[in-house]
């Protein structure tokens, strides 16, 4: 960041540096206007196709923004009881849950909280079928299917790698139907999730596969959930193709189509503001920040990827190159090498881009490093501190 600049520009939003200097660091600053921009794109798809889009809370659970998102989306998708409760309490509307395996002692509460329950296998469905059918409210049950087709190259993010635990393959479905021709009775929907940050072209090929394997069974269902991994709100996403595919599935099988993206809701909506704590040398310039990849943006190490920094370029492109790193003990806690047009100064602020999703839901206090403050930059251009953390939060999750 240039010290003499008086605003930073992120996704077309100008934020006065003066305001950024007043907030604590590190902070996730989620920009309300950008979140609403994404939500409006998704609600446009819903309006034009009749599909229902849910927020996958595993990606983004900043519930202070749920009242805004609930104006546009149909509800939330949960990975377990806690997310289902959060969705029910803070978002309202529809609550859908999917877990590879449910806990027996949580099922009663899940049944009171969730409108759709997706089971991962016939084993799970058979375990809970009686309980579900005895419940005093309408709960629609579905089965996760595994089409054994995906275009995700990294196994860590590929639900269809060989021997994957996710969903029922066609072979398993047919074995079960041979044993019991009524095996699908009581199930109202299919769910699949096989994509990761991908476009409508990939969805088209996935759907071809799903239809050719499971089409005949899909005709018996009331709904189908296309899962997440759709980069719908990215500028180059092919919305007309997505809409054509949704309408095709809706009309061919007479089903309600659901989607449950997470990233598409949070993508390009927020920054992580951090301060340079120190600058040192060991063969190159190293800047130590008050944020950490391991603690505050774990996907940087898991995926891995190198997040963009406002005003910085790749190493060597601008005159001053630095390795951006953290104050933890993990040697590999390095965010990446970046170049700047001026030397970095102690106390200077840096802004990591695209930090709303899969950050605050995954962060941790390794080394006793504090969690970033959560801030909403409101449509009225105010920095609204939603939650700050301290020693008590650190201590409370230990014993």
Ligand X SMILES: Cc1ncc(COP(=O)(O)O)c(C=O)c1O
**Only segment of 10-18, 125-133, 179-187, 227-235 that touches ligand X (CB under 6 A):** 227-235
Shortest distance, position 262 Cβ to ligand X, whole Å? 3
Q: Does 190 bind ligand X (CB under 6 A)?
A: no
**Within its chain, how far is the Cα of 151 from the centroid?**
19
Angstrom distance (rounded) from CA 361 to CA 254: 36
Query: Which residue among 75, 167, 189, 229 contacts ligand X (CB under 6 A)?
Result: 229
Dig out the tokens for 338 from the structure.
């970046």
Phi-psi region of 229 (alpha: psi -120 to 50; beta: other; left: phi over 0): left
Q: Among residues 166 and 322, whose Cβ is nearest to ligand X?
A: 166
Which residues inside 51-70 make contact with ligand X, applying CB under 6 A? 56, 58-59
> DSSP state, 374?
E
**Residue with nearest beta carbon to ligand X:** 228
Q: Which residue has the tokens 């072209």?
A: 201
Nearest distance in Å: CB 263, ligand X: 4
H or E element, residue 174: helix 170-179
Q: Which residue's structure tokens are 């449910």?
A: 102
| 1 DSSP 8-state letter | -
Give the other-Cβ count within 10 Å of 226's Cβ.
Answer: 27
User: Is the alpha carbon torsion for 81, 84, 86, 92 positive or negative?
Assistant: negative
Least distance between ligand X and beta carbon 203 (Å): 12
Nearer to ligand X (CB atom), residue 88 or residue 230 = 230
Here the tokens at position 33 are 């206007």
Binding mask 257-276 for ligand X (x = CB under 6 A): ---xxxxx------------
Q: Toward ligand X, which CB reaches closer, 193 or 323? A: 193
Find the radius of gyration of the CA atoms of the chain.
23
Q: What x-and-dash track marks residues 76-115 binding ligand X by CB under 6 A? A: -x--------------------x-----------------
Task: Give yes or no for a contact between 297 and 306, defined as CB atoms under 8 angstroms apart.
Answer: no
Q: Which is nearer to ligand X, 194 or 276 (CB)?
A: 194
CB of 364 to ligand X, least distance (A): 19
CA distance 349 to 327: 16
Task: Spell out, one character per residue from 277 to 306, where the chain touches ligand X: x when CB under 6 A holds, - when not.
Answer: ------------------------------
Contact between 125 and ligand X by CB under 6 A: the answer reads no
Q: Which residues bind ligand X (CB under 6 A)?
A: 56, 58-59, 77, 98, 193, 196, 227-229, 260-264
């Amino acid at each position: 960041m240039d010290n003499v600049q008086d605003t930073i520009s992120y996704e077309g939003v100008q934020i006065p540096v003066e305001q950024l200097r007043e907030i604590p660091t590190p902070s996730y600053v989620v920009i309300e206007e950008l979140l609403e921009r994404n939500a409006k794109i998704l609600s446009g798809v819903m309006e034009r196709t009749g599909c229902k889009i849910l927020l996958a809370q595993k990606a983004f659970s900043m519930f202070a923004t749920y009242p805004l998102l609930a104006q546009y989306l149909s509800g939330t998708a949960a990975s377990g009881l806690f997310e289902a409760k959060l969705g029910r309490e803070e978002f309202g509307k529809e609550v859908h849950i999917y877990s590879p395996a449910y806990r027996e002692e949580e099922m009663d509460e899940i049944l009171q909280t969730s409108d759709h329950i997706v089971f991962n296998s016939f084993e799970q469905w058979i375990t809970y079928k009686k309980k579900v059918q005895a419940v005093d409210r309408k709960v629609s049950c579905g089965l996760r299917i595994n089409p054994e087709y995906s275009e995700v190259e990294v196994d860590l993010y590929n639900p269809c790698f060989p021997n994957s635990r996710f969903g029922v393959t066609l072979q398993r479905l047919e074995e079960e139907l041979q044993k019991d021709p009524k095996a699908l009775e009581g199930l109202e929907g299919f769910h699949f999730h096989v994509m990761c940050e991908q476009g409508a072209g990939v969805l088209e090929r996935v759907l071809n596969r799903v239809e050719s394997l499971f089409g005949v069974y899909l005709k018996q269902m009331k709904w189908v959930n296309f899962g997440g991994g759709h980069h719908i709100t990215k500028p180059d996403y092919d919305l007309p193709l997505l809409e054509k595919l949704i309408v095709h599935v809706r009309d061919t099988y007479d089903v309600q189509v659901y989607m449950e993206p997470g990233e598409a809701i949070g993508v390009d909506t927020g920054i992580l503001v951090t301060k340079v704590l120190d600058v040192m040398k060991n063969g190159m310039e190293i800047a130590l920040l008050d944020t950490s990849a391991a603690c505050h943006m774990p996907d940087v190490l898991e995926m891995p990827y190198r997040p963009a920094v406002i005003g910085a370029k790749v190493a060597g492109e601008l005159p001053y190159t630095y390795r951006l790193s953290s104050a933890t003990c993990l040697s590999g806690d390095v965010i990446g090498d970046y170049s700047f047009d001026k030397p970095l100064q102690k106390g200077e602020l840096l802004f990591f881009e695209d930090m709303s999703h899969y950050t605050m839901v995954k962060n941790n206090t390794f080394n006793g490093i504090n969690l970033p403050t959560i801030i909403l930059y409101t449509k009225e251009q105010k920095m609204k501190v939603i939650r700050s953390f301290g020693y008590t939060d650190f201590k409370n999750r230990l014993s």
